[in-house]
Structures are given as structure tokens and as C-alpha cells.
């Protein structure tokens, strides 16, 4: 039988632990709100690129809800809500929140939509997509990152996101067609398999250019007749899309 004093000490440690967790979560929530305020201000400054002075309110709500600190390495948690990219290992980064917000907004998602993400990274963009669409598929070519992202998504409550390790250049044919596709690494061209897997009426957002040179975020649309249209949105800086293609 354990001594009453021992039980009291253990109970006290447990209470302190949960109190510390609650304080940390409240602090992260305050940081998320500050980040969203900054993003709103910066979005207004990009209206020349976006033809809009504000983001969809659903995107704002997703930014306020998704716990970005759950999608960065422990060493980067103090900077989780800084409006900048952060390293996540293997030469990869979690994108700047402003860019994640803009890319998500450009997709014009609806709740019943089917979305493909190429380049899961840490899982943050997939979590944002899952707040806006019920059917999210995401592919990561770096196996350790794919496993980590899957664990991050489950821990954060996004366990309905479909994850896969593989070369996203070729898309996810079994789950196609998609209402929207987002690519989170720069490509020298728009991959034909992704164009094929995009539904008529669908939208794709992809950085196009060369690593360490001029890159542009490009909006790709497919009309009801399958005709493809493209529009450069704004200059960006992404890591390269890798694979054997």
C-alpha cells in the first residue's frame, strides 16, 4: 500500500504537468491570433497579385485552429508562429504561414471536395486543407518525413487525411480526379499527370521555376471542356520537387 504522502506528491506532479500544458496551449493560441493579424495585414499588401484585399474567412478560421507547433520539430517550437519558413530536416521546410494561407485560399475549396497535396512535409498544409475539405490526400517522397507527418496529423486530430510515401509528380491516380491540387515544392513545369488528374472546373496551385532562381506561384485552371489556363500569382521561394521524373 502506497503512503498517503507519496500519493499526494504524485498527484501534485500530475496537476503541475497539466497546468503547464494548459498555460503553453493558451500561449500558443495567443501567438496564433497574433500571426493571423499579421497575415491579414500582409494579405492586404498583396492585393495587386491576388485581386483581393482579404482571405476567405474559412481560411482565417483554419489558421486560428490548426496548431502549427504540432507540425515543427521540438527545437523550432518557440518559433512555430513566426511568419516565416522553418526547417524540418532532410533539406525541407514548413512553408511560411502567409504563403500557406494564400495557396489554400486560391484553391477555393468546398467541404465535399477532393484535394491532393504533393509534398506533405510536416503535415501542416494537409491539416489546413482538412479544415476546409473532407477528402484530403497527401504524398511525400521522403519516407521518414512521410511517417513523421502522418504521426503529426494523427496527434493533432486529423486522422482522416490519407497519407502516402511516393513521388508526387505522378499524383495519386487511384484517388483521382481531384477538385483541387496543391504542390508545395517548385517544379520546372506543370506535371502532366497532375493536369490529367485535375477535374474539369478544378484548380491547381503550384510553384514553377528553377531552384535558387526566379519562381512564381501559378494558378492552373481546367474548364468544363478540359481546356487549361494558367496565371502567375506572385514570386515565391520553394525547395525543389524531387523524384526520377
112 is catalytic: no
CB 209 within 8 A of CB 145: no
Nearest to 118 by CA among 86, 148, 146, 76: 146
- Cell (9 digits) for 136: 484530403
Q: Is the dihedral of CA 10, 12, 17, 18 positive or negative?
A: positive
Give 115's Cβ-side CA count (13 Å radius): 31
What is the DSSP code string of 10-31?
Answer: HHHHHHHHHHHHHHHHHHHHHH
CB 191 within 8 A of CB 245: yes
Per 3-state DSSP, the chain is made up of helix, strand and coil in percentages (nearest 5) of: 45, 25, 30
Q: Please give the Cα distance from 193 to 175 (Å, whole number).
A: 13
Phi, psi for residue 213 in degrees, rounded to 5:
-130, -170
Nearest to 86 by CA among 39, 122, 62, 115: 122
Of 19, 95, 112, 122, the active-site residue reads: 95
* Residues assigned a catalytic role: 95
Amino acid at each position: 500500500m502506497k503512503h498517503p504522502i507519496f500519493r499526494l506528491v504524485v498527484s501534485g506532479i500530475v496537476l503541475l504537468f497539466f497546468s503547464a500544458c494548459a498555460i503553453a496551449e493558451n500561449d500558443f493560441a495567443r501567438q496564433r491570433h497574433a500571426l493571423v493579424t499579421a497575415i491579414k495585414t500582409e494579405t492586404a499588401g498583396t492585393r495587386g497579385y491576388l485581386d483581393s484585399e482579404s482571405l476567405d474567412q474559412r481560411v482565417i478560421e483554419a489558421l486560428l485552429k490548426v496548431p502549427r507547433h504540432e507540425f515543427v520539430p521540438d527545437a523550432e517550437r518557440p518559433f512555430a508562429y513566426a511568419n516565416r519558413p522553418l526547417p524540418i530536416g532532410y533539406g525541407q521546410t514548413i512553408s511560411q504561414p502567409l504563403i500557406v494561407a494564400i495557396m489554400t485560399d486560391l484553391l477555393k475549396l468546398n467541404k465535399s471536395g477532393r484535394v491532393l497535396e504533393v509534398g506533405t512535409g510536416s503535415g501542416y498544409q494537409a491539416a489546413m486543407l482538412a479544415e476546409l475539405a473532407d477528402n484530403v490526400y497527401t504524398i511525400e517522397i521522403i519516407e521518414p518525413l512521410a511517417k513523421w507527418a502522418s504521426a503529426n496529423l494523427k496527434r493533432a486530430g486529423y486522422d482522416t487525411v490519407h497519407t502516402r510515401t511516393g513521388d508526387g509528380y505522378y499524383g495519386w491516380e487511384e484517388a483521382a480526379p481531384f477538385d483541387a491540387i496543391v504542390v508545395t515544392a517548385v517544379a520546372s513545369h506543370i506535371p502532366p499527370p497532375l493536369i490529367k488528374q485535375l477535374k474539369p472546373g478544378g484548380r491547381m496551385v503550384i510553384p514553377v521555376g528553377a531552384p535558387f532562381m526566379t519562381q512564381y506561384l501559378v494558378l492552373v485552371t481546367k474548364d468544363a471542356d478540359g481546356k487549361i489556363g494558367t496565371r502567375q500569382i506572385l514570386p515565391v521561394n520553394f525547395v525543389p520537387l524531387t523524384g526520377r521524373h
